[in-house]
Structure 1
Amino acid sequence: MKNVLITGASGGLGKLTAKHFADNGWNVIATMISLDLAEDLEGYPNVKCYQLDVTSTENINIAKTQILNDFEAIDVVVNNAGLGYRSFVELSEDSKIDTIVDVNWLGVVKVCRAFIPVFRKQKYGQFINITSIAGLVNLPLGNFYHSTKQAVESFSECMSYELLDFNVSVCTVQFGNAPTDFQNNVVKCEESKIPSYDKMMDSINTILNKKTSKNQNLTKTIVAKLFSIANKPSKSFRKYTIGFDANFMKYLRRILGYRLFNFVIRKKVLKS
């Protein structure tokens, strides 16, 4: 049986991905911020849960030691852990900026750094780094979330060159708003009492909620694609874009260029 390590496996897409891999014959190394969140996965004989905080190098190394004591090899690492922060730059808070950077970007960096030696020693392995439509285009109120996801895109592509000689593949996966708990857990800035800001926040919240409610089949599609990618690693760096929303935005941005794309977003999304 192959072995997959998934970060952020306690809920949302991470949990669904863990269950799908387990149901299809893989051993799942399900990592999460707290083992108190592991209840839904305890009934799976081929799922083993570990406490792992992606923001802590020390904690990652402790978890890594435990994992390697239990598993002789790791075939795939899925960097799934992530969170959202929707705020205007003016109203943003240092602690919330630090948190999203630590989890969404540096968390990926630290987990990859920890497990590259494992893959290098094995002479095989695959990193699947989950980003978002936010890794492809820039949209209103995406200042912090989009920045971290685009950082992961750049980091992943650069890292892929380093690992070619060791038969280690790297890819990123982008998609739109899937019906998981993610949107409900996005941290938002306080109401500003600035009419322009509040109007924009209401507009973006409404659009994203509608998109999420419409994408009922997207989560299953994402999970199935992650499983397919894991089973057929590409030696060269790949970006996998899943779902209509993400593919539409990707090609619209490419065709229009940044100036026309910016104009369309202002007219269609912000009505300005």
Structure 2
Amino acid sequence: MWTLKNSETIKTILITGASGGLGSAIAHHFSSNGWKVIATLVSEHDRKVFDGYSNIYCYQLDVTSQESIEKAKDQILLDHKSIDTIVNNAGVGYRSFVELSVDAEIDSIVNINWLGVVKICRAFIPHFREQRKGQFINISSIAGLVNLPLGSFYHSTKQAVESFSECMSYELMEFNISVCTVQFGNAPTNFQKNVVKCQKSDIQSYNCMMEKISEILQNKSTKNTTLTNDIVEKIYYIAEHPNKCFRKYTIGFDANFMRYFRRFLGYRLFNIVIRRKVFAK
């Protein structure tokens, strides 16, 4: 059951990549707190995760396709009078050595993690501008704060989201449209399990590094048992209290530690510490 609000105060949130993991958790949390939720899904078959929720509305939307975005947007704005908040959550991982990377996977992560955010914002800015209010919450990552081994592609896209969001915020302040980013570490969702990795090679040092990094990240995900709930609750707070000025919200011990650790050490000492951690025998 969801908490009933006065019809005049019911707010609407749109979430990309809502079919599973963090996106699904955000959708269910906002629904249970009385928000109207627009859950966008790559596949219509994924809508079953929201069966029984009368205030969650599902739409097929592929953030890599301009045609799909426009079609979904037109139908969404036809069905719903106003959108208050958009959470750009859709994202994928790609863990590869630069030498072994393949074009299809590079294109995929760039098109989803960065250009997907760009295109969703571009599509819905006119709606926000016309109603003189709106909020973009762009999901970043600890990868948007620091640079770590085997993150050449994932980190690049998340840091692009950070730069894009901050630059865009200047354009939209006059129209009462707020922009923020949210960074966090490895939450206990299926994200790490679904990360695409390059194939093993005959370069032994590459294989050893891949095993070490994958083990570290999976262990972090397992240990961060409360992180998903912390992220969801923080996003709900941000949505309920939009800030006109651009903000970066860092959630969880891992992300906050790495953020200040990197700032304190500087890039040279930070690089030495990370190398010793990864290459320790």
TM-score band, normalised by shorter chain? over 0.9
Q: Does 1:87 align with 2:105?
A: no
Q: Distance in 2 between matches of 1:168 and 1:47?
A: 24
Q: For residues 133-161 of structure 1, what are the alpha-carbon distances to aligned partners after superposition, in whole Å with 9 as ceiling and x for unaligned?
A: 00000000000000000000000000000
- Counterpart mapping for 1:178-217 below 5 A: 178-217=187-226
Matches within 5 A, 1:6-155: 6-155=15-164
What is residue 261 of structure 1 aligned with on the other side?
Answer: 270
> Secondary structure at the residue paired with 1:72?
coil
For residues 51-96 of structure 1, give each alpha carbon's deviation from its aligned partner in whole angstroms, at most 9, with x where no partner exists: 0000111110100010011110000000000000000000000000
Stretches of structure 1 that go unaligned for 5 or more consecutive residues are none
Residues in 2 aligned to 1:241 and 1:271: alpha-carbon distance in whole angstroms: 29
For 2:80 and 2:279, the matched residues in 1 are separated by: 51
Segment drifting more, 89-98 vs 190-199: 190-199
Q: Distance in 2 between matches of 1:222 and 1:214?
A: 15
Q: Offset of 1:163 from its aligned partner? A: 0.1
Give the deviation of 1:42 after TM superposition: 2.0
Once the two structures are superposed, residues 148-194 of structure 1 have per-residue CA deviations (whole angstroms, 9 ceiling, x without a partner) of 00000000000000001000000000000000011110000000121
Distance (whole Å) between structure 1 residues aligned to residue 202 and residue 155 of structure 2: 25
Q: Which runs of 5+ in 2 are unaligned?
A: 1-9
Query: Does the 8 Å contact 2:209/2:278 carry over to 1?
Result: no
Counterparts of 1:251 and 1:9, CA distance in 2: 31
Q: Give the whole-Å Cα distance in 2 for the aligned partners of 1:270 and 1:7.
A: 37
- 1:45 Cα offset (Å): 0.3
C-alpha distance in structure 2 between counterparts of 1:40 and 1:148, whole Å:
28
**Which runs of at least 4 in structure 1 moved beyond 6 Å after TM superposition?**
none
SS at match of 1:110: helix
| TM-score normalised over the length of structure 1 | 0.99
Following the alignment from structure 2 to structure 1, what is the Cα–Cα distance between the partners of residues 147 and 254? 14
TM-score normalised according to structure 2 size: 0.96
Q: Among all aligned residue pairs of Structure 1 and Structure 2, give the percentage whose two residues are the same amino acid.
A: 68
CA distance in 2, matches of 1:168, 1:91: 41
Counterpart of 1:225 in structure 2 is: 234
Contact 2:39 2:56 in 1 (8 A): yes
User: What is the CA–CA distance in structure 2 between the aligned matches of 1:267 and 1:14, rounded to whole Å?
Assistant: 35
User: Separation in 2 of the partners of 1:145 and 1:116?
Assistant: 26
1:12, distance to aligned residue in structure 2 (A): 0.3
Superposition RMSD in Å: 0.7
Distance in 2 separating the partners of 1:187 and 1:117: 35
